[in-house]
């Protein structure tokens, strides 16, 4: 009897343990083997910058809208432009005074000034007088308008004596030579027009007439000759020019070494 009960007990225990063993075997075969731990060999990632806090919002005052002027018409040039032309194909113009030709030039103080003069005078006492002169000088500019300077002068004169004014047998013409010193001054009063004045002191050979016989002769004396008049200057370049000057001879007498009026052609050359 005891053996029968023990057999029934063992059989019941076996029936209870069989499903659990089957389940355990099934779970072991279905579940994958655990993975081996792997080392992290990737480079470290860049740190994520911290997000700055938002800037505080400023409160702005409401302002009235400023009207914007309309653009100029397309067919009208801008204020700094001109219409294209032969001298400016692009229509662009430099500001006034920016060109090299418009820049102020340095004042050249010294210049050479030489003139060639002609004169003619008629007199009831001895007929007619023709004169030719040359006078080199050195000028000095005090400023842009005023210039002064010293110089030398030479004058040649030819006197023609009509027959009714000379005794028979005397020459009908006389030639004289005169050398002297002078000083001149010029003042430009309008563009290229100027006032010219000079004073000459000359050791002159002049014509004399004997009051008793009426015969003519020449002799040397010192003659002072003031001259003044107007002139016009024509420039060849920034350093060379030519003048034409018409002067009145204030020594208009028998001892005069120039005619009336005196016309001079002068050449000017600026020095460094």
Spatial separation of the C-alpha atoms in residues 141 and 110, rounded to whole Å: 6
Mean pLDDT of the chain: 77
| CB atoms near residue 210 (< 10 Å) | 10
Counting DSSP H helices and E strands in the chain, the numbers are 1, 8
What DSSP designation does 154 have? Answer: E
Which of residues 99 and 248 earns the better pLDDT score?
248
Which of residues 78 and 259 earns the better pLDDT score?
259
**pLDDT tier at 210 (50, 70, 90 boundaries)?**
confident
Mean pLDDT of 33-41: 60
Which pLDDT value is given to residue 4? 60
Q: Nearest CA to 140 among 4, 5, 271, 1?
A: 271
Compute φ and ψ for 109, nearest 5 degrees: -75, -40
pLDDT 10s digits, 149-179: 999 999 898 888 887 777 777 888 888 899 9
**pLDDT tier at 269 (50, 70, 90 boundaries)?**
very high
Q: Which domains does the chain have, with CATH numbers?
A: 110-270 (2.40.160.20)
Residue 135, preceding bond cis, omega within 30 degrees? no
Is the separation of the CB atoms in 106 and 271 below 8 Å? no
Q: Is the pLDDT of residue 201 over 90?
A: yes
pLDDT 10s digits, 46-59: 666 667 667 666 66
Which pLDDT value is given to residue 40? 61
Q: What would you report as the CA-atom Rg of the chain, rounded to the nearest whole angstrom?
A: 59
Compute φ and ψ for 25, nearest 5 degrees: -65, -40
> Can you tell me whether residue 38 is helix, strand or coil?
coil
Within 8 A by CB and 6+ apart from 104, the residues are: none
pLDDT 10s digits, 83-98: 666 666 665 565 555 5
Measured CA distances, 262 to 141, 232, 265 (Å): 24, 15, 10
Mean pLDDT of 101-117: 81
């Amino acid at each position: 009897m005891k053996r029968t009960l023990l057999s029934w007990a063992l059989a019941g225990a076996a029936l209870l343990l069989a499903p659990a063993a089957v389940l355990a075997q099934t779970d072991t075969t279905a579940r994958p083997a655990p993975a081996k731990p792997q080392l992290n060999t990737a480079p470290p990632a860049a740190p994520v910058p911290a997000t700055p806090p938002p800037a505080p919002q400023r409160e702005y005052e409401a302002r009235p809208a400023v009207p914007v002027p309309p653009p100029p018409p397309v067919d009208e040039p801008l204020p700094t432009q001109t219409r294209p032309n032969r001298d400016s194909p692009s229509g662009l113009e430099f500001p006034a005074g920016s060109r090299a030709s418009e820049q102020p030039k340095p004042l050249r103080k010294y210049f050479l000034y030489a003139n060639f003069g002609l004169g003619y005078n008629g007199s009831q006492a001895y007929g007619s007088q023709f004169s030719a002169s040359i006078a080199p000088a050195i000028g000095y500019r005090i400023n842009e308008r005023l210039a002064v300077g010293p110089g030398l002068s030479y004058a040649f004169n030819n006197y023609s004596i009509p027959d009714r004014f000379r005794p028979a047998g005397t020459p009908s013409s006389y030639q004289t030579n005169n050398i002297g010193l002078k000083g001149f001054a010029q003042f430009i009063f309008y563009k290229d027009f100027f006032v010219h004045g000079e004073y000459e002191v000359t050791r002159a050979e002049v014509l004399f007439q004997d009051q008793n016989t009426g015969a003519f002769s020449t002799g040397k004396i010192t003659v002072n000759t003031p001259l003044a008049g107007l002139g016009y200057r024509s420039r060849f370049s920034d350093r060379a020019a030519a003048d034409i000057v018409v002067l009145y001879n204030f020594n208009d007498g028998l001892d005069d070494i120039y005619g009336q009026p005196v016309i001079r052609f002068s050449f000017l050359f600026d020095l460094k």
